[in-house]
Structure 1
């Protein structure tokens, strides 16, 4: 009986195989990881799909032509030979042979290292005891910040340079984790933020082509509609770090405990803060009245104060050893993450001097930033660390800010993020929301809420909001987390905490729109241009026709506050009675586009394409 059943099963199996062998293998979602089927970034919607009509500007508008010829090289001149070298493991190497082109090559030179730190009130740098270094004899330096000084017999200084040493303070265990801190994992990931001040979205697109290619090739998610909420770099960066609305003279002491790194420290992560600001910054004020000093593992303030006083050329962005100061500070950001790639860590590096007064200098660090990102990736940093590259505001103090285009760009800073390589497998919905929100209106508050979610790792499936109508400000004034929410198409500046004088959402000019009906020359000219461009550049389209329910031109302009460059309510009270005309109008036209019709496939052939 058993043998008969087996024979019958074999016969049925053979008949089934004969009837289905033309079918391809059926691959179901059960065989794929859930994140592998998520649509790629930019596959969701376009900027034009928002109720907020965003001013889409060319990278090369005519009114800014004289301000955007990117400086590719700052031409830093070497005024001091590179005598000392610090390796990532904290080994200091010194060689007098580097003086080969110096008249002092035969002089007797003595070199020393000493600790570099802040004094008691934190306002000045100070040196510790000197330790002599032997030429060509590597030495392990035990200090996180130190200087190397070389002098001849008459005590004339031949070399003086500061270093940041991440190998000194915390020993790594056999897993590469710093003792006393938690390991970086997908449940406890790291966060590295690089903020380059005074850089707009378009400015980054213009001047950073090599870096942009790297971002696109490595799954960075870039926000198109990031609208700043305050005037100064100080205010905007602090809102990102704390989620609070900050005034220029607010004390940092009142913000203690609200910084992103506080949440990171609670889950056992180490913290590094690094900046090149001369006076007031988002975590340091050169004032005895404001006694706030960040309680973190690495704070390179003494390093910068020394550089500003001794090593950076006056009125320059160059160091005496021939390097750009921004290059050195970006390198510190990279070296910290490379050293502690297996340790849960947080870093915030604030680069201010390069771009604060000039829009063109950004191009000088294009290759520098790309190279540092490539090194971070090659050393495994991307595996367990989220990388954020952003700005706090567009350029607001140079002459470009007085142009129409400059007023728009000032209000639209740059923001991009890359989550750890496997983050999407653990948190697919959060990454999906980030991708969805790439072309939605966001503010500093929203970015803080998202970064706070990440820093505290408090988000989860139970926190996600399915219905946009239920989106509430769960963080008070801290915005909507881009991880938790798929932001709605109808979001406005008021919803996002963006004051009207910074709001880039444009107003419709109904009187102007009424002039451009289907029969107007303007409408038909725009329709013809759009039709030709779509059919030429979009090979997947075969036909473009006028929209059945949208046969007119809609005209938009920026609001009067933005047109005047207003930055606060007081300025608007003084200027609002004076009429202002927009030098630029934005026109929106709707069309319908169709792909080629697909011929039907006979059923006797269709079975071959089942999947």
Structure 2
């Protein structure tokens, strides 16, 4: 009997062993997946509490897995009048197109000439690395000369003047009036044999603060440093810059997850922050900012800060697309105490520039990364003055984020180092810091995702309050924490900055006017109404992320996009541009959605006579993509839409060269720039 069943028993035993091995391997695989998920959860900032959702440790975004429904919140903002859906930065469709970029240096070579600030003398000294010079000359007996050219501002064109060469020797003391300079050293007797060229913007010491300016906590005016990165959503920040994101989750930082942009690109969003006006309203109520001299008349915030005894600074890279100069006349008078534009224009013009493989903007100017000129100025400005007087500065970078949602990943450690420098220099002990963006990605592959609408409209917004400020004003800190998941806008930030100026009193004792174009907006140091709507926050319907839309798959919904295309053509005709801009024709419709009420069933949306719709479509001409929010009347077959609110979703700088107006460029596909005859 035993012999009869022996083969069977043997077979059963083998099966059992195999089963155990399979279960063991499965367990190991599950453990590995669990460990990977835990790592992704930490990098993604996942936690059991919504208060710690953004506390991710340093780690690679390539290790991230999609967040699960069990641990992520449903909304950034959830109230009776606003529901902004939560977006997982590491969702599969986003990670499928995201390729982390590697940081690149512009030069491995040491500086031949370095401006060193002598604190005791409060002067810059030009120090020459003579050892490096000898190496470059490759001759211990050879000699060299070094010179600098001062860069001054050209008031007429908001540009620069390059002064005559001035030769100098070791430890030369730079005159106080020199704010920007280009330096070069060449072989003696041969000016064309340049050993090295470089350029610097100097934060020269200014006169002592006015008498009576108190640093006592009760009367103290906090410094304000605004650190801006163009086209960076709060979602993409976490995806591309996990180290920076983790730093911004530290003690004293407050993230506004419901911060919603109010305009399409940089200019309207910064105008709302800096003036309290929309760009259209400012043009009507103050002056035409397309005309020379108007921007000087604008009630820009730095004027209020200066009137309150602050030193001011404004720096922005990529001079050809700067906020106040791209298709605009710029300033006649220098706008702030320290102003980078003239220097950077001269540096860009007089030195070699380089674009990295995936860059469309200039990655390097001379030996250094383009944005370093902005960030170095921010660091030196704060380092020089923050201990003795209040300062305000806006330091804005376009160069590594404007044209690629992936490029910020190249700069994660680089940006983090500047934030760590602020910390090491004691700037965070003294100052309120605003880390912000103007909007998210406006074109490219990210906008085509299901989360693209939200990515574009939810810029990064973090505020840091120093310890003394939190102790002095605990209610303000509590309000900022409360406002974390409430709807906020650029106008609220404008009011907050004015609130800061008023701390300790204003020169005339009067309160500063609040945002003119948002009567219901307020300082973020006060609790924001939980039931706030986009209208309350000054956010136009096209940019509002509060109200849900449902995708329509019915045939009748296809009637809307052609009407929008017609309106664009009418706009171009009304601007007398039909002779140079192509007449647009619809190629296909990506999607059309209908707005539904927050209290309405998502599954039961009746066809209304008049409703708000969102449609995304492509035209034949250069396959350009657009997204419009419109009011459509089913009975009259008509749409109501302001053409300048229609978003362009693809890059257009090379196909709109026949027009100069920034808004016209969005809709004009120049006949001379069309890709082929069929498109004409």
Same fold? TM cut 0.5: yes
Offset from partner CA, 1:194-244 (integer Å, 9 cap, x none): 111111111111122222222222321011111111111122112111111
Partner of 1:164: 201
Q: Deviations over 1:243-272 (max 9, x none)?
A: 110149833844535111111111111111
Q: Which residue pairs with 1:306 in the alignment? A: 346
Compared CA separation, residues 148 and 488, structure 1 to 2 (3 A): same
The residue that corresponds to 2:375 in the other structure is: 330
Q: Which residue of 2 aligns with 1:126?
A: 161
For residues 156-555 of structure 1, the aligned pairs below 5 Å read 156=192, 157-166=194-203, 168-171=204-207, 178=209, 182=213, 186=217, 187-247=220-280, 250-251=289-290, 253-255=293-295, 256-284=297-325, 291-311=331-351, 313-315=353-355, 317-319=362-364, 321-342=366-387, 343-457=389-503, 475-478=515-518, 480-507=521-548
On the 8 A contact 1:279/1:286 being kept in 2, the answer is no
* Cα deviation, residue 414, structure 1: 0.4
Higher strand share: 2
Q: Mark the CA change 1:566 to 1:504 in structure 2 (over 3 Å): closer, same or farther.
A: farther
Q: 1:555 to 1:419 in 2, by over 3 A?
A: farther
Going from structure 1 to structure 2, the CA distance change for 1:347 and 1:310 (only over 3 Å counts) comes to same
Q: Distance in 1 between matches of 2:114 and 2:210?
A: 26
The root-mean-square deviation of aligned C-alpha atoms, in Å, is 3.7
Contact 1:191 1:386 in 2 (8 A): yes
Structure 1 unmatched runs, 5+: 1-39, 172-176, 461-472, 513-551, 577-611
Structure 1 Cα separation of the partners of residues 385 and 495 of structure 2: 25
Does the CA contact (< 8 Å) of 1:67 and 1:360 recur in 2? no
Deviation, 1:386, is 0.6
Per-residue CA deviations over 1:136-178 (Å, capped at 9, x if unaligned) read x353453121221222322113322221211x3415xxxxx55
Deviation per residue, 1:555-598 (Å, 9 max, x gap): 799x842766866678998798xxxxxxxxxxxxxxxxxxxxxx
Secondary structure of 2:248's match?
Answer: helix
Cα shift at 1:124: 3.2
**Alignment length, in residue pairs?**
477
Aligned equivalent of 2:173: 139
SS in 2 for 1:244: coil
Is residue 315–residue 340 contact of structure 2 (8 Å, CA) maintained in 1? yes
Work out whether residues 363 and 399 of structure 2, in 8 Å CA contact, stay in contact via their aligned partners in 1: no
* CA drift at 1:361: 1.3
Please give the per-residue CA displacement for 1:492-534, whole angstroms capped at 9, x wherever unaligned.
112111111111113276999xxxxxxxxxxxxxxxxxxxxxx
CA contact under 8 A between 2:616 and 2:628: conserved in structure 1? no
For residues 349-400 of structure 1, what are the alpha-carbon distances to aligned partners after superposition, in whole Å with 9 as ceiling and x for unaligned? 1111111101111122222222222222222212221111100011113332
Which digits, 9 at most, give the CA deviation of each residue in 1:24-83, with x for residues without a partner?
xxxxxxxxxxxxxxxx994999745423111211112333335422213135345x7521
Instruction: Select the residue among 95, 113, 126 that pairs with 1:92.
Output: 126
Relative CO higher for 1 or 2, CA cutoff 8 Å, sep ≥ 6?
A: 1
In structure 2, the residue matched to 1:115 is: 150
Q: Secondary structure at the match of 2:246?
A: helix
Tell me how far apart the structure 2 counterparts of residues 510 and 447 of structure 1 sit (CA, whole Å): 33
Which is further off, 117-126 or 199-208? Answer: 117-126
Residues in 2 aligned to 1:562 and 1:503: alpha-carbon distance in whole angstroms: 15
Counterpart for residue 587 of structure 2: none
Q: In the alignment, is the contact (CA less than 8 A) between 2:148 and 2:182 conserved in 1?
A: yes
Residue 131 of structure 1 aligns to a residue whose secondary structure is strand
**Partners of 1:575 and 1:312 in 2: CA distance:** 50
- CA distance, structure 1, for counterparts of residue 505 and residue 485 of structure 2: 22
1:312–1:355: structure 2 CA closer, same or farther, 3 Å change rule? farther
| Other structure's SS at 1:404 match | coil
1:257–1:365 Cα change, 3 Å: same
